[in-house]
């Protein structure tokens, strides 16, 4: 299942990227905005990032 990041909730704190066991999450900086992006091709659907995100910005999408 692909991961969805709600950019309205994501503040780019980096917790999800730090906790990801396969390192498929990166933090992007555009101007004064930071947010997470996911390489869904490398994601193993472990949901570690979903649990790690204190903002509730990450969810799994049913395919």
Answer yes or no: are the C-beta atoms of 33 and 23 closer than 8 Å: no
50 in a domain, yes or no? yes
pTM of this prediction?
Answer: 0.89
46 in a domain, yes or no? yes
Answer yes or no: are the C-beta atoms of 22 and 42 closer than 8 Å: yes
φ, ψ of residue 31 in degrees (nearest 5): 65, -125
Number of domains making up the chain: 1
Distance CA 47, CA 4 (A): 11
Instruction: Quickly state the pLDDT bin for 62 (edges 50, 70, 90).
Output: confident
Residue 63 has what pLDDT?
Answer: 66
35 in a domain, yes or no? yes
Answer yes or no: are the C-beta atoms of 27 and 34 closer than 8 Å: yes
Query: In this structure, what CATH number is given to the domain that contains residue 32?
Result: 3.30.70.20
Q: Which residue range is the domain that position 28 belongs to?
A: 3-54
């Amino acid at each position: 299942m692909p991961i969805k990041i709600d950019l309205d909730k994501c503040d780019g704190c980096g917790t999800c990227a730090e906790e990801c066991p396969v390192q498929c999450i990166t933090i992007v900086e555009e101007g004064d905005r930071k947010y997470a992006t996911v390489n869904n091709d490398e994601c193993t659907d472990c949901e570690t990032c979903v649990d790690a995100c204190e903002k509730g910005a990450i969810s799994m999408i049913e395919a």
